[in-house]
Amino acid sequence: MFLDRIVATKKEEAEALKASMNLGAAEREIASLPACLGFEAALREGRRQRLVGLIAEVKKASPSKGLIRPDFHPVQLAKAYEAAGTDCISVLTDVQYFQGSNDYLRGVREGVNVPLLRKDFTIDERQIYEARLIGADAILLIAAILDKRQLDAYHRLARDIGLDVLVEVHNRPELETVLEVGLATLIGVNNRNLHTFETDLSVTQQLIALMPQGVTAVSESAIASPEDIAFVGKAGAQAVLVGEHFMRQPDVGAAIEGLLGPIVKTGAAG
């Protein structure tokens, strides 16, 4: 299955990291870094300004769609997202399947002052240190590729070194596992099945209904219209993660306003 191929690639990359990364040195370097920007806090705050908080994604290509944005300038895109008032930015760093790069994240870190998600397939603790070192404020843990022990250990490690954690689920058993682990405060429902690439926004509706109070719920993938925003907002999503829709528009700042409307300070969100 395709996801297995991605995980196999990540295991090879983790082996290479084992050879190149000295954990003690990484820990010392991290201890000297400034604190991360609050990723989850920014999403909660974003809800005061728009119906939902926004994670805008910098995404050149994907396994399901191939090349999405040939004229790809990640720092320019991120600056346009920031100017349009996004709460957070997601940067794909996977090279092989998404044509991403750690250098894109480093560049975006230099260029903007909003919290950044390192969007990759985390299967080894060294990737978590790496995320912090390249400038991320949050990492993604995908329940479909991690067991309970890994979800627990990687979550704790990320928090220990100052990172927020977006834990991603796509079905009820995955959500139940994540809730049993009991650490996630920020849970993303991926509307895309990562095995078949099929998308269905009703997955957000089904899974958010099962989440306890206090969780910040993010609806991820296949969001492309104000009607989609209204649908997932009504289902309880406090934030959305949008990539392809923005990447296909020449002016990504205007695309944010087209999707979510202008920023309005309501002070109404909790």
Residues lying near ligand LARABZUK in the complex (CB under 6 A) are found at 57, 59, 62-64, 190, 192, 194, 197, 220-223, 241-245
221 closest CA partner among 200, 258, 191: 191
Active site residue 190: yes
Active site residue 59: yes
Please give the Cα distance from 236 to 217 (Å, whole number).
7
Q: In this structure, are residues 232 and 223 in contact, taking their beta carbons and an 8 Å threshold? A: yes
Please give the Cα distance from 64 to 243 (Å, whole number).
13
Q: Rounded to 5 degrees, what are φ and ψ at 142?
A: -100, 115
Active site residue 79: no
If the CB atoms of residues 145 and 215 are measured against ligand LARABZUK, the closer one turns out to be 145
Among 168, 174, 191, 219, the active-site one is: 168
If the CB atoms of residues 181 and 242 are measured against ligand LARABZUK, the closer one turns out to be 242
Q: In this structure, are residues 89 and 53 in contact, taking their beta carbons and an 8 Å threshold? A: no
- Shortest separation between residue 220's beta carbon and ligand LARABZUK, angstroms: 4
- Shortest separation between residue 66's beta carbon and ligand LARABZUK, angstroms: 9
Question: HEC profile for 200-248?
Answer: CCHHHHHHHCCCCCCCEEEEECCCCCHHHHHHHHHCCCCEEEECHHHHC
- Shortest separation between residue 92's beta carbon and ligand LARABZUK, angstroms: 7
- Shortest separation between residue 193's beta carbon and ligand LARABZUK, angstroms: 9
Please give the Cα distance from 200 to 171 (Å, whole number).
12
Q: In this structure, are residues 136 and 117 in contact, taking their beta carbons and an 8 Å threshold? A: yes
Identify the burial level of 222 via C-beta atoms within 10 angstroms of its C-beta, where 0-12 means exposed, 13-18 middle and 19 or more buried.
buried
The residues, ordered by sequence, that sit 6+ positions from 232 with a Cβ below 8 Å of its Cβ are 52, 201, 204, 205, 219, 223, 240
Q: For residue 72, give the amino acid letter.
A: F
If the CB atoms of residues 63 and 111 are measured against ligand LARABZUK, the closer one turns out to be 63
Among 13, 40, 59, 191, the active-site one is: 59
Active site residue 12: no
If the CB atoms of residues 7 and 21 are measured against ligand LARABZUK, the closer one turns out to be 7
- Shortest separation between residue 247's beta carbon and ligand LARABZUK, angstroms: 7
If the CB atoms of residues 67 and 264 are measured against ligand LARABZUK, the closer one turns out to be 67
- Shortest separation between residue 141's beta carbon and ligand LARABZUK, angstroms: 13
Active site residue 57: yes
> 34-66: string of b/e by CB count within 10 Å (b at 16+)?
eebbebbebbbebbebbbbbbbbbbbbbbebee
Q: For residue 153, give the amino acid letter.
A: A
Among 90, 190, 191, 219, the active-site one is: 190
If the CB atoms of residues 211 and 223 are measured against ligand LARABZUK, the closer one turns out to be 223
Catalytic residue IDs: 57, 59, 119, 168, 190, 220-221
